[in-house]
Amino acid sequence: MTARASTQSPSRAAAVQKVVSKGGIEAWLVEDYAVPLVALEFAFKGGASQDPIGKPGVATLLAGLLDEGAGPYDAEGFHRALDEDAIEMSFSADRDILSGRMQTLSRNSARAFELLQLAVTKARLDAEPFERVLSQVAASLKREANDPDYVASRTFRSASYPDHPYGLPVRGDLATLPTLTQGNLIDMRAATFARDKLKIAVVGAIDAATLAGHLDDVFGALPEKGALAPIATVAFSGEGGRRVVDIDVPQSTIRFGRQGIARKDQDFIAATVINHILGGGIFSARLFREVREKRGLAYSVYSQLVTYDHAAMLTGGTSTKNERAAESMGVIETEIASLSDLGPTEEELDKAKKYLIGSYALRFDTSTKIASQLAHLQTEGFGVEYLDERNKLIAAVTMEDAKRAAKRLFGDAKLLVAVAGRPEGM
């Protein structure tokens, strides 16, 4: 069976309805009455990249407070109201978005949308939960201050994008957390919570007309347009450099990376296949085979493509004994250089394509996963047709495409490497 033949499946795009409310709010809806549940995910453009200068962590703190009291309910009362009707609700901030998700039994959906409306438009941001959540974030950062994984990741991030919002910690910094105020949260909410930057996906036992009414109820009172600060497009920095943070532990945690390929670039799909061959696969990846199976240098090793609205990178990581850190990085660099110079084998290319095509269905096996995928596609600027096109694009990747993408992705094989531990030879 060829990779192209295995792309044949029922249309996912055909199951998606574009619902537009009377107020002009759009959502992607998949009606599914197999189980009496409704799952919703939404996202506002903005996220941690909109944190005020010198105050990273505002978006994370705002997300953490949206369900800590809203409208007539204080924090305890709001959580009690959710529990009484078995409603799940949470919020989070990433680099480019601030998102929320809700899941409820269909019979409680009216109440769930009512509480979601309060969280989105009338979160109280009271002093007590503000201080409590701020303290929780600070405590988490203190615990991680000497955690090799956290230290390596943070060091890598700051070196990758110096003097840019993408280089700052999403959850904030211990030195500046005390300067965050409720006013910062109110300002960010006013700037980012707007209808023009809103994407919504809903899956479950709800029809289009009912959903349309709820969309206006929840989001209709928001401003038509937000006031996002412009974010500069930025290239990856530090390729060829080494950053070592001394921590007295027996293992070194390593993060490595270089410039990536943007999600809308014509070579991104081919780069996705190439990354799977390098370190994105579970057992078939070159790094897994060479680092773990052949040499026993590490239990796990990986690579991944990361795309933001204004940047893209290839990144990866592993953990190994201090005395074998240099050897591990040597193997990783050798495999990257080999793929850059020679490209993959025909067998590697065929296996990667088949796996990426076959495993795509696993992203759509629950209501919450489907809602997440639909919201994700919207925030990344794809149309609903991508649900059907994606596997066809994977299947169409040729050896010529793969070699071109590998050369672009890996180039001279120089990496920025950040290590936390006491690596020997580095």
**Beta 97-105 vs 88-93: how paired, if at all?**
antiparallel
CA distance 417 to 82: 45
Ordered by start, the domain boundaries in the chain are 12-219, 242-421
The CATH class for the domain spanning 12-219 reads alpha beta
CATH topology of 12-219 equal to that of 242-421? yes
Closest CA to 308 of 148, 91, 160: 160
Q: Mind listing the pLDDT tens digit for each residue in 204-213?
A: 999 999 999 9
| CATH classification code of 242-421 | 3.30.830.10
- Contact present, 212 and 21 (Cβ < 8 Å): yes
Q: Mind listing the pLDDT tens digit for each residue in 362-381?
A: 999 999 999 999 999 999 99
The secondary structure of 21-86 as a DSSP string is -TTS-EEEEEE--SSSEEEEEEEEE-GGGGSPTT-TTHHHHHHHHTTS-BTTB-HHHHHHHHHHTT
Q: Mind listing the pLDDT tens digit for each residue in 33-69?
A: 999 999 999 999 999 999 999 999 999 999 999 999 9
Per-residue pLDDT, averaged over 295-323, amounts to 97
pLDDT recorded at residue 7:
46
Q: Mind listing the pLDDT tens digit for each residue in 372-412?
A: 999 999 999 999 999 999 999 999 999 999 999 999 999 99
CA 109 to chain centre: 27
pLDDT recorded at residue 308:
98
pLDDT recorded at residue 5:
40
